Structure 1
Amino acid sequence: MEIMFEPLTAQNVDQARLLNAVLFPGLYQPRFYSEVSKSIGQVYDGFLVKQGSSTIGGIICRSDRDNGSCRLYIVTLGVLAPYRREGLGRQLLKRIEELASNHSALSLYLHVNIGNDEAVSFYTNSLFQIKERIPNYYRRTNPPDAFLLQKDLM
């Protein structure tokens, strides 16, 4: 079955919510998705990966502007386990990098739990650099520390 990439819209944010409930249980509350839905294209952007009518992956990012410059923060990026290692995560990153270019963003950045070796490897292999380790970043995970990773685009 064909894989499709669909821009995140107010109409499909609920599909992202359901996907993220599986990938990141308990981390994102309903008010987060309400905020995303209200500000798609202004503050939040993203894509869903679809196979037929099933959502199998997705990415949500937030535009952060400071002193006239822009960075995109990757809030969530995930692909369901049976579809990993097929290049879908890299394709999602590529689409976000293109979006970042449209926003004249200087970099992409995100936080990853230090115990998530698979994610740390994925991002470092995608040319993100570990900028710092942040103690006690997460409240509901063990270990609670996070790495701040960044990829410069310019």
Structure 2
Amino acid sequence: MDKYIFPVTYTEAYYTNLTNAGWHAFSLLAYFHELLVGSLTCRLETTEEEGVYRLYVMTIGVLEPYRRLSIGAKMMQKLLDNVAAEQNTIISEVALHVQVGSTAFEFYKQFNFTVKEEVKEYYKDLEVRDALLLTKVVAQPNLKKGDKAPAKKK
């Protein structure tokens, strides 16, 4: 499905890593009458603070005939709701890159993502190569202050 949605081609390694990491509440599939029409994939990234993660949105897309039906917006809202409801993993922020000048920027502004920085030459195979790194902090009221994810064993 991705080859019909995104302007870049993902390698087999991308999909292998995605499936090996295991599906979680931060990656979503969207169906329209039992037909897969959209997806949102994420990965948890470590931060400098032990036990605290950043959730990086790798892809979000909907097949062309099903756009303008709020499917992408529903997936993004569900992702943000899942972060807010998370009880085991501290997520300091949700982050993603968007191509400079893309109409998708307006989509992310609806969810109060803000520009953290501009990244020159982020996209290698696109005409417009620069990207904006967008971030959003999502409150996690189900995590008590001082809660930390268990430290990894060495």
TM over 0.5: yes
1:55 matched to 2:36:
yes
Q: Which range moved further: 96-105 or 47-56? A: 96-105
1:146 to 124, 131, 134: 131
Whole-angstrom CA distance in 1 between matches of 2:123 and 2:52: 27
Unaligned runs of 5+ in 2: 140-154
**Cα offset, 1:134, TM superposition:** 0.7
Of Structure 1 and Structure 2, the greater strand share is in 1
Do structure 1's residue 71 and structure 2's residue 54 form an aligned pair?
yes
Q: How many residues align?
A: 134
Q: Which has the bigger relative contact order, CA under 8 A and spacing at least 6?
A: 2
Q: How far apart, CA to CA, are the structure 1 residues paired with 2:55 and 2:31?
A: 23
TM-score (norm 2): 0.79
Shift of 1:41: 4.2
Identical amino acids, percent of aligned pairs: 28
Q: Which amino acid aligns with 1:49?
A: A
Counterpart CA distance in 2 for 1:47 and 1:133 is 27
2-structure distance, mates of 1:56, 1:48:
8
| Counterpart residue identity of residue 109, structure 1 | A
Q: Deviations over 1:16-55 (max 9, x none)?
A: xxx211111443111111111111147x941111123421
Question: Does the Cα contact within 8 Å between 2:26 and 2:83 map onto a contact in 1?
Answer: no
- Please, what TM-score do these two structures have when normalized by structure 1? 0.79
Structure 1 residue ranges without an equivalent (≥5): 1-18
| 1:114 to 2:95 alignment | no
For 1:111 and 1:55, how far apart are their aligned partners in 2? 24
